[in-house]
Structure 1
């Protein structure tokens, strides 16, 4: 009988206390022996369990907080190197893992390390581990990445790892350490992601998620079972003893919390001494000029007609609708590209008419109103630092030109810059002040707490991206009140999104974790938030229809928010009075 056979033994018993004793003595002895061996490896060469690498962390790069150091210590020495780090959003779970990996590297117990993340977070992880802890990892998006069997420290998206191209190589290797970010991605046992993690072999594992329960308690069971197989017995046993039939309330809560205490560390904001600063939102809507309004109406008519006749790619039509409220420059680039690449367009004259309407705009309202914000910042904020976000490079260039003509110190940040150039740009912004105009490439893990004013020059239709923008400046280390200015033209899709949707769910006071819960069911249905917005716009027969459609979408969002609050209430029931520190015994 091998280890997996022991783990898979069916658990049968008469009560929660029997669950503990449900394994045979052989299973218990095997498990205890294996954990002892692993713990001894961590302690090898050291007389005690102090975090020896603390003195090697550069305090100028990272200020370790007490709850982070405690989490790293407990994960390594109380949980034998297998832990679910479930701190609430914003408390620095990445820092905790960095501390863990730093310590393991110091003790030479981390020969091969695999960090699996969502695709958009891979480079962020790479940067933070290098900058804060001096740990070098190759990322699957790097040119030098040669495969999962060619490097000892790898950061990769979980979808890359599970792909047909790499899956066999990933599974063939025995990893010393596995790190799984956003572990709720593997909550469903019927997915390829779950199957990959279930089949991986590793000695130590650290899973991260702020939302270990998203829809039901089974989420938590699946995640914990990947870390500690058998801790909760079989799935049926787990439900029988811990969840009532309706999954509305918990039973045997003390026993559930006792078991979680063996594998999970959860810090809450209220339990730390971190003082997050206030966030003040100022939404400013402006009346477009007659020429701007004429252009907006023409673009919307074109998009609606093209979409109804299925004569244009949906992504292109969506892009046009976003660009028209961003800047004439952004819209013009896309329209000209369509004209140049499609000589046989049946609607060529309509696109040419759009170009004429673009050229008829002399003054861009948003540019004029942006000057009011940056001028106020120049008068009242240290070095006049302001970050302006836009989704489009042509808009970025136009805004930079306008600001430079007004005598402002400016900085451009976009995805075309190398990693070294991005570092230099941020350093210059810190040292020289002025206005940094950035595309959403800035979302890649940049920490800009030295700035506290941000402008959404145009608004992404995905609310997660909005919060990620704000998260660049409103995070641990920010010492001042954060001001977020949203700019929108009246009577446009931008105003609808702001007033009907974002303010309806109080977007600007939500955390990424809360937003994720609100949007989960929509995304799981295969329809993105952006798709919903576009299709309601493109299908509306009149302004009244559009208002009704957005009101309906707002109601749907409110229902999802109610669900999110119920999930949070359920989570609180699971985690209530959860022991966040070592016992006094």
Structure 2
């Protein structure tokens, strides 16, 4: 295969790559880059400062982030061996976000990250923001923040890639010269015919870090497209790449050359080659029959929501909220109904809303709240300090639970988005020291590490499994040394039960990681319909309970197919990279991969 260089692409202002850091230093000092990472690296050495390690490590609070050896090595290699242009392709669960956080912290320390753009899937943007802030002290504005203006106003931005490519923002994003680009879930840009690919292809940036656990999803061309965005020219043209690395039988060939070129830009650590021992996760879903009064309230709300949506689809978010609140608590539902009454101008609707308020007043027993104590009592008997985290989506439900638990003699802690950063730190510290019950809204989802607790309860259920996994991820993560127990609660015959039993449990979505879920849900996302929208519309369109059950069964089949595809993608990636030295084992001789062949057609 002909030798291919980095190409004459104006988006990159980097020094020439060498295989040894000493050579990189020499070339940096000669002026290959006046203000880049390696130039700063060289200046510090020339001044007598030690640069044999990542300097920003000393700035980190090790209670906030526990760095593992493979993560530190990945950050170091990406910065100083790959000239700040790397594809971080660790297997799921090994902490690619931590690696990028370490990279950005080091660049910030060296004053080489004036403007940074981090593009993620929409559902991960806030999580990135929280992790960078709380683990690395790096403050970024997110496009979902109230203070976000546009991509020209802020120097450190986290945004969904779809927001960045939108008609409203695309021109502004492309008009700017970014110092650093971070692209999460880089396999989203594997297709060169999409607007996402086009956006990244046209962006101007100096350094770039792409993340994906699945660099290849369908065929080897996926890898080519991603690498070509990151390091143009590394593999030559698409035809040359395919003809050289795939023979007429669709078998991978010339693996040593592929390894050599990938080694210039790609880092891939595998779980089996780390010392990380992930504990088991146990899921216990409990459904309870509602009281007659609770059943009547649920049916009244569902009937109102269905009728109101047929008349005015513009109310969709409010109506969806009502359907979630009715299975959470009467208190949560009451506040929204009262607001609707205040805002509603049509007399017929006011009558329906008053009927719902009357039904709320008729409820004497809160079934889920009563049954919550059964779970907590079990935890008290078997777990250190009886620590349990209870998640709810609604502040009114949180207040009700806290009052009831306190009256029953439990030690309680409240966590929600209204607390300041200092207050949140104190709350978590008190929970760790005192034990008891932490009742939290989904504000806890963002970047909190709570491995000292291993039991959580989903008191009410987000309809997006990604949000559920982010909840679980607070306790089931690197550093957890005990098995994790997750309890899900639902009333029988409600939308919550259908989501649990016919979607989540049926295809075992609770056992998937965030990265795996992202892959499974990507087909639905690409259709332009969110997971929550799909659930809501099935509820509205069903003419009977049997039809609703059948609709959810059909949705489960669709998700199962996506799950099988995601599994094949993972197998395919493992097969292509089997035996490759991509950073996990630096001492493996190159000859160890000679002759390796992987069938490509089996997993397409």
TM-score range, shorter chain: 0.7 to 0.9
Alignment partner of 1:546 is 2:528: no
Partner secondary structure for residue 313 of structure 1: helix
1:484 Cα deviation after fit: 0.3
**Partner residue, 2:598:** none
Q: Taking structure 1 as reference, are residues 548 and 297 closer, same or farther at Cα in structure 2, changes over 3 Å only?
A: same
Q: Cα offset for 1:192?
A: 4.3
Quick check: 2:123–2:466 contact (8 Å CA) kept in 1? no
Larger RCO (CA under 8 A, 6+ residues apart)? 2
Which residue does 2:90 correspond to in 1?
87
- The 1-side partners of 2:311 and 2:158 are apart by 44
1:581 corresponds in structure 2 to 585
| Deviates further, 45-54 or 338-347 | 45-54
User: Please, which of 182, 191, 203 is the counterpart of residue 206 of structure 2?
Assistant: 203
Cα distance in structure 2, aligned partners of 1:452 and 1:464: 19
> Which residue in the other structure is 2:268 paired with?
266
Q: 1:419/1:60 Cα in 2 relative to 1: closer, same or farther (>3 Å)?
A: closer
Deviations 1:355-378 (A, max 9, x none): 211111101000000011222323
Question: 8 Å contact 2:6–2:232 — kept in the other structure?
Answer: no
More displaced stretch, 445-454 vs 162-171: 162-171
2:185 touches 2:210 (CA, 8 Å); kept in 1? yes
1:367 alignment partner, SS class: helix
Selected match of 2:315 from 295, 304, 313: 313
Q: Structure 1 unaligned runs (5+)?
A: 1-17
Cα distance, 1:250–1:355 mapped onto 2, change above 3 Å: farther
Distance of aligned partners of 1:219 and 1:440 in 2 relative to their CA distance in 1, 3 Å threshold: farther
Greater Cα shift, 320-329 or 446-455 = 320-329
Aligned residue number for residue 97 of structure 1: 100
Residue pairs, 1:384-533, within 5 angstroms: 384-533=386-535
Q: 1:286 Cα shift?
A: 0.9
Distance 1:488 1:496 in 2: 9
Contact 1:467 1:511 in 2 (8 A): yes
Q: For each residue in 1:91-126, what CA deviation from the matched residue of structure 2 results, as whole angstroms up to 9, or x when unmatched?
A: 111221232234444555445444444455455444
Return closer, same or farther for 1:260/1:311 CA change in 2, 3 Å cut-off.
closer
Counterpart check, 1:223 vs 2:226: yes
Equivalent in the alignment of 2:45: 46
Equivalent of residue 68 in structure 2, options 65, 70, 80: 65
8 Å CA contact 1:211, 1:513 repeated in 2: no
C-alpha spacing 1:534/1:50, structure 2 compared with 1 (3 Å)? same
Q: Distance in 2 between matches of 1:266 and 1:329?
A: 49
How far the C-alpha of 1:349 sits from its partner, in A, is 2.3
Q: 1:162 offset after TM fit, Å?
A: 4.8
| CA–CA separation in structure 2 for the residues paired with 1:167 and 1:130 | 26
Per-residue CA deviation, residues 459-516 of structure 1 (Å, 9 max, x unaligned), is 1111111111101110011121111001111122222211111111111111112211
Q: 1:465 to 1:233 in 2, by over 3 A?
A: same
Instruction: Tell me if structure 2 keeps the 8 A contact 1:308–1:539.
Output: no
Structure 1 residue 573, shift from structure 2 partner: 2.1
Which position in structure 1 is the counterpart of 2:597? none
TM-score (norm 2): 0.84
1:124-144 Cα deviation digits (max 9, x unpaired) = 444444444455556566777
Give 1:277's match in structure 2, choosing from 263, 275, 279: 279
RMSD, aligned α-carbons: 3.2
Q: Is 1:185–1:193's contact at 8 Å kept on the other side of the alignment? A: yes
What does residue range 318-357 of structure 1 map to in structure 2 within 5 Å?
A: 318-357=320-359
Tell me how far apart the structure 2 counterparts of residues 423 and 155 of structure 1 sit (CA, whole Å). 24
Is the 8 Å Cα contact of residues 309 and 316 (structure 2) preserved in structure 1?
Answer: yes
* Distance 1:63-1:445 versus aligned 2 partners, 3 A rule: closer
SS of aligned partner of 1:412: strand
The alignment's TM-score, normalised by the length of structure 1, stands at 0.86
Alignment of 1:154-165 (within 5 A): 154-159=157-162, 161-162=164-165
Of the structure 1 ranges 259-268 and 146-155, higher mean CA displacement relative to structure 2 is found in 146-155
Partner of 1:234: 237
Instruction: Evaluate the alpha carbon distance shift between residue 249 and residue 335 of structure 1 in structure 2; reply closer, same or farther with a 3 A threshold.
Output: farther
Partner of 1:9: none
CA distance in 2, matches of 1:530, 1:124: 19
Q: Determine which of 77, 89, 108 is the counterpart of 1:74.
A: 77
Distance across 1 between alignment mates of 2:192 and 2:329? 46
* 1:21 corresponding residue in structure 2: 3
Conserved 8 A contact 1:286-1:490 = yes
How far has the Cα of 1:453 moved from its partner?
0.8
Greater displacement, 132-141 / 203-212: 132-141
Q: 1:541 to 1:510 in 2, by over 3 A?
A: same
